């Protein structure tokens, strides 16, 4: 698999260099990688963005989308972008923590009161500053895309922190996700989302945590029948672009890209994600999965030390958290 990905990446890199260097091509083509299939809400939002960018640039800006982790997982795609083989990558904010620590704010459990609060933060000056916080790493965020609310799922209800005691729960490769599981009493087990179905089936892990769309699309509902809707985190996806590439666009192309990105975010918020969630709940019924609503108060009390640690990191972190809480 790695050899295939390396060959694909090399081919893309050569094609990128030839394309961008040749004056025979009037259009600018940007290659964008993401890890979902074409039926997923993320792909629909990115396709919407690509169509709008082409329209607003009068056909001068073309975005070619590579779904299904064709060019590697999120970290591998980020590495390809930094090498010049890719120009844009969709990545979860939790995966960006090691590149730009400011993104760790979004991984604090129960940070957002509701979806309106979530979007108010993302569209605020703070949200926009976090998008720019990775500039020294060679890329910046263009916009956020809804990543849904993450909840626990297993073959038993998880309605209080004590239910997690000793349970091996799959989490993202994120320091914040691992820390959350530790304070809640579970055993954090980082692994790729694509490996979780088999891990649940074979008892390697006892449960997972993700949004309803991933829970059903990855068919985890077949092997973990109870979805305990605690909505502990709302971690956005982020569309990032190489800083060098962004600066190399014409003013017209750059304006078109930013306008398309902002509209894609709103399309995801108002149309695409709500439709995807509605479909996910229908799929849960078909898979005979059970949804359990959870009293969040005991979970919020248990994760309070994570907020104290975040405030103590540095004055800017404390200021950012205060701004979110007061927004």
Q: Do domains 2-92+117-145+237-276 and 150-234+279-326 have the same CATH topology?
A: yes
pLDDT tens for residues 236-245? 999 999 999 9
pLDDT tens for residues 41-56? 999 999 999 999 999 9
pLDDT at residue 39 tops 80: yes
- Name the pairing type of β-strands 61-66 and 28-33: parallel
pTM: 0.86
pLDDT tens for residues 291-323? 999 999 999 999 999 999 999 999 999 999 999
pLDDT at residue 194 tops 90: no
Higher per-residue confidence, 173 vs 211: 211
Tell me which CATH homologous superfamily contains domain 2-92+117-145+237-276.
Bacterial extracellular solute-binding protein, family 7 (3.40.190.170)
CATH topology of domain 150-234+279-326: D-Maltodextrin-Binding Protein; domain 2 (3.40.190)
Using CA atoms, how far residue 270 sits from 24, 263, 267, 291, in Å, is: 40, 10, 5, 24
Domain ranges of the chain: 2-92+117-145+237-276, 150-234+279-326
pLDDT at residue 119 tops 70: yes
Counting residues of the chain whose pLDDT is more than 70, the rounded percentage is: 92
* Residue 4: pLDDT band with limits 50, 70, 90: very low
Q: What is the pLDDT of residue 30?
A: 96
pLDDT at residue 146 tops 50: yes
* Residue 24: pLDDT band with limits 50, 70, 90: very low
How far is the C-alpha of 35 from the C-alpha of 43, rounded, in Å?
9
Q: What is the pLDDT of residue 124?
A: 97
pLDDT (mean) for 114-133: 96
Q: Give Cα 138 to chain centroid, integer Å.
A: 19
DSSP line for 275-291: HHHHHHHHHHHHTT-EE
pLDDT tens for residues 200-223? 999 999 999 999 999 999 999 999
Task: Give the side-chain half-sphere CA count within 13 A for 285.
Answer: 5
DSSP line for 83-152: HTS-SEEEEEGGGGTTT-GGGGGGGSTT--SSHHHHHHHHTSHHHHHHHHTTGGGTEEEEEEE----EEE
* Residue 14: pLDDT band with limits 50, 70, 90: very low
Query: Phi first, then psi: what are they for 152, rounded to 5°?
Result: -85, 150
């Amino acid at each position: 698999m790695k050899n295939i990905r390396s060959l694909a990446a090399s081919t893309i890199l050569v094609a990128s260099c030839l394309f961008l260097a040749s004056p025979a091509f009037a259009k600018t083509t940007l290659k964008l990688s993401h890890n979902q299939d074409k039926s997923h809400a993320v792909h629909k939002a990115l396709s919407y963005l690509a169509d709008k960018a082409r329209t607003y640039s009068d056909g001068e800006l073309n975005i070619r989308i590579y779904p299904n982790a064709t060019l590697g997982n999120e970290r591998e795609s980020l590495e390809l972008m930094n090498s010049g083989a890719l120009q844009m990558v969709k990545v979860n904010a939790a995966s960006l923590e090691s590149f730009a620590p400011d993104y760790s704010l979004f991984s604090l459990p129960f940070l957002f009161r509701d979806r309106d609060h979530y979007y108010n933060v993302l569209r605020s000056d703070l949200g926009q500053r976090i998008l720019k916080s990775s500039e020294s790493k060679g890329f910046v965020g263009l916009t956020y895309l809804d990543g849904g609310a993450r909840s626990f799922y297993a073959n038993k209800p998880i309605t209080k922190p004590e239910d997690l005691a000793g349970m091996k729960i799959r989490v993202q490769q994120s320091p914040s996700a691992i820390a959350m599981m530790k304070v809640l009493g579970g055993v954090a087990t980082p692994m790729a989302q694509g490996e979780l179905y088999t891990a649940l089936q074979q008892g390697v892990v006892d449960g997972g945590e993700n949004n309803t769309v991933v829970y059903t699309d990855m068919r985890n509902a077949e092997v973990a029948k109870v979805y305990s809707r605690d909505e502990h985190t709302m971690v956005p996806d982020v569309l990032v672009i190489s800083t060098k590439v962004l600066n190399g666009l014409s003013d017209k192309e750059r304006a078109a890209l930013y306008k398309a990105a902002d509209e894609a975010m709103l399309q995801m918020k108002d149309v695409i994600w709500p439709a995807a969630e509605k479909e996910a709940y229908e799929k849960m019924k078909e898979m005979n999965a059970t949804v359990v609503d959870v009293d969040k108060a005991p979970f919020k009390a248990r994760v309070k030390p994570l907020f104290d640690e975040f405030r103590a990191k540095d004055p800017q972190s404390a200021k950012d958290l205060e701004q979110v809480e007061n927004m």
